[in-house]
A and B are shown apart, each in its own frame.
Chain A
Amino acid sequence: MRRLALRTIALGYLAIVLLGPLAMIFFKTFEHGFGAFWDAVTAHESIVAFKTTLLITAIAVPLNTIFGIVCGLAIVRRRFPGKGIVNAFIDLPLAVSPVVVGVSLFILYGRGGWFYGVFENHGIQILFALPAMVIATMFVSLPFVAREVIPTLREVGEEQEQAAHTLGASGWQTFWRITLPSIRWAVIYGVVLTTARCLGEYGAVAIVHGYKTTATLQVQDYYENFNQTGAYAVSLMLAVVAVIVLISMILIRPREVEAA
């Protein structure tokens, strides 16, 4: 009886908070038929917005993956002063609101900011252009790979790497042949989470984007211009990508357990 009540509460909560809104979007999107949806998705603005989102993701994910692995290795395998601080700071993007990130980029790269002269004088525009959007997205999606890799590196231990060294492997060979294969599922899992975060980023990018829009910004744009079908259609596309990401995570999980 009690179990049933618990289950009802859990599922009810999920339905109200998660499934309800998603179902509404789905319903609203196809309110005027598939044709309207298709037109909205393939509209010029939508295509450009999707392309920008994909481009930003394609830059931010590899960079944060490399950073996450290097950072994880440094934190787990090396001793250096300030390690505790680095470890704590990795989580900062999870705690800080993305809007704050956007504002801070504004202060840094905007007129009178510390880095304004460095780039602007060389004709490189950071703010209100792709670079700032990439930086903002990188910031908010920074922790995911490192957070997945760190516990796995600890669990795997150092012995296999030491064995490789005694067998004559260089540091580089050890990394590619031993370390990376033994943390590969954590890396993939982290990449999936990072990708999801990059695709969905809104707050920080909203402040620094200028004339370029991403998929999430396009949703807002459509909505504000009373193009509701457009807003719903792009939202649905984002939701579909998120669901694909979720499913791929579920597919990865059992393999991760098997590997351990």
Chain B
Amino acid sequence: MSISIQNISKRFGDFVALDDVSLEVPTGSLVALLGPSGSGKSTLLRIIAGLERPDAGSVHLADEDVTASSPQDRAIGFVFQHYAAFKHMTVFENVAFGLKVRHRPKAEIRARVHDLLDLVQLEGLANRYPSQLSGGQRQRMGLARALAVDPKVLLLDEPFGALDARVRKELRVWLRRLHDETHTTTVIVTHDQEEAMEVAETVAVMNRGRIEQTAGPVELYERPKNEFVMEFVGAVNRLGDTFVRPHDLEVTVEPNGSTREAMIVRVVQLGFEARLELVGENGEQLAAQLTRDQVEVMELAPGQIVYVRPTRQTTFTE
């Protein structure tokens, strides 16, 4: 089911959470809302869910205007950052909740819940209470609970934000695989650009209540529309008016015509990758991304003077 958001505005007192936002989410796609905290991404998701009312604008699910309808009439599944687990219910009862309130037959509920627990790998924990689960398990339960009612739209609000890095990566891959199988229209809110780029087909970058750019991960990274997007979707160096990604900054030991001088402050080895922190001629902070081999061949070390040259740069005219 497609989602169409038209000219949505929302204020909380004096704070403008959303300022005339429009977004199209085609049926079966996975879209990420990416932005810093306070950018309005969660508010937008909650408006799609019906958990907040917009001050202006409309939300359409498929071709139906649902702006005024309540969450329980929207055929959505919502996953909360802090799980929103029903603490007084077991894992089984949590997942069964949506079916129970729809008065489905008991046998059907049992079968469906066990299928879902299987899907999220919680089969053995059906009789546990949420307090007896790890964060990752709780969130998988949250996903199973949301999926139980066969939502036409799956909405995830920073679903992996409270989890540690490894569990986060696992669930990210799992979510992507799930989407490839079910093709449920999905919107995920995140402040983690890596997560957005890895999971979503389309990323809407949000800032101060507005969408700055909506594009695929590659285009977003290669052709950011403005400084904000450029800086938000990846690390960036500022050289006067131009922006250079760390991997587009060439480092050499000898100067040549177009290079500028810089001093190495720190060398960070991250497996195959190595990061250099440098200080330029005018005291500007620079970062360069190299391979470990390059660092070894050039024998780069802190305190050393090197020469840098952008191989690719971006300038915005604003």
Contacts and interface: CB of A to CB of B under 8 A. Distances in A.
Contact of B72 (A170, A181, A259): A170
B49 interface: yes
Interface stretch (A118-126, A155-163, A236-244): A155-163
Given A166-B77, A166-B78, A177 B72 contact: no
A51 B85 CA distance: 45
Contacts of A170: 72, 101
Contacts, number: 64
A166 B88 contact: no
B72 A165 contact: yes
Interface string B76-87: 111010101111
Interface in A175-213: 177-178, 181-182
B101 A167 contact: yes
Contact of B101 (A159, A162, A168): A168
B149 A182 contact: no
B145 interface: yes
A197 to B, nearest CB: 28
B88 A167 contact: no
Contacts of A177: 97, 101
Contact of A159 (B71, B82, B148): B82
A163 B88 contact: no
Contact of B71 (A165, A181, A259): A165
B97 A169 contact: yes
A167 B98 CA distance: 5
A178 B84 CA distance: 11
Given A162-B51, A166-B49, A181 B88 contact: yes
Interface residues of A, number: 17
A124 to B, nearest CB: 42
A164 B51 contact: no
B51 A160 contact: no
A252 to B, nearest CB: 16
Contacts of B149: 167-168
A159 B87 CA distance: 11
Interface string B213-240: 0000000000000000000000000000
Contacts of B85: 160
A42 interface: no
Contacts of A97: none
Contact of A182 (B77, B88, B102, B148): B88
B86 A163 contact: yes
A17 B272 CA distance: 77
Interface in B136-176: 145-146, 148-149
Given A167-B97, A167-B101, A177-B101, A160 B72 contact: no
A168 B82 contact: no
Interface of B: 49-51, 70-72, 74, 76-78, 80, 82, 84-88, 97-98, 101-102, 145-146, 148-149
Across the A-B interface, the 10 shortest Cβ-Cβ residue pairs = A167-B98, A166-B78, A163-B84, A159-B84, A165-B71, A169-B101, A181-B88, A168-B72, A166-B71, A173-B101
23 contacts: A159-B82, A162-B80, A163-B86, A164-B97, A165-B51, A165-B70, A165-B72, A166-B50, A166-B51, A166-B72, A166-B77, A167-B98, A167-B101, A167-B145, A167-B146, A167-B148, A168-B98, A169-B101, A173-B101, A177-B97, A177-B101, A178-B86, A182-B88
